Amino acid sequence: MTTEECPERPKRRNCWTLTIILIMFASLCQQVTARIGETPKQCQDRYGKPVKTDKAKEELQYLKDEILITVRFYNGMADYISFETKRKVSPSQLQAFSDIEIQGLLKANGGARSWKRYINGSSANGPNIRNYGHATWWTTDGMLLAKQSGLIELIIVNKGNQRRFEEEEKAKKNKKLQGF
């Protein structure tokens, strides 16, 4: 049977091609995704030896499938993860994360939680977020925050990390004002 006799055939082929691409991408996301709440040992079991260690920050870095993964720990558990693409589209330009990749990383870290996207600050039902024009997501239970930093980095943190960051920033500002 030719394509002229069965006009559905090219559509089916495109559908299968898209399905195969999505399956391959889903397996890539599972391979490169450190998860909030993991221990340093779990991260090492997943990626092998870190490419960089910063004991002062309790930070480990891994390079997997051209993605730099930075994991920070608090009380022995990952509470900050940054995914930064190192894939190049030209010698001087990095390839941005696609929407499908971002959704895969959010799902892998959120588990069964639902994510809500915030653009340009607050939402009627959500937190006030200063995102400087970048996409920001919160899980609907408010436990995880994700921010896209530029087009090549996605940062995911838990609520405790976000609270500590805000307290540190407030303390820095207060210290600057001492003596006035």
Say whether pLDDT at 180 is over 80.
Answer: no
Q: What is d(CA 141, CA 100) in angstroms, rounded to the nearest whole number?
A: 23
What's the predicted TM-score (pTM) here? Answer: 0.69
Q: Three-state SS for 44?
A: helix
Say whether pLDDT at 176 is over 50.
Answer: yes
Q: What is d(CA 9, CA 48) in angstroms, rounded to the nearest whole number?
A: 45
Q: What is d(CA 169, CA 180) in angstroms, rounded to the nearest whole number?
A: 19
**Mean pLDDT, rounded, for 122-129:** 47
Which segment, 2-6, 13-17, 113-117, 150-154, is predicted with the most confidence on average?
A: 113-117
Helix (H) or strand (E) holding 177: helix 159-177
What per-residue confidence (pLDDT) applies to 12? 58
What per-residue confidence (pLDDT) applies to 152? 86
Give the residue with greater pLDDT, 97 vs 47.
Answer: 97
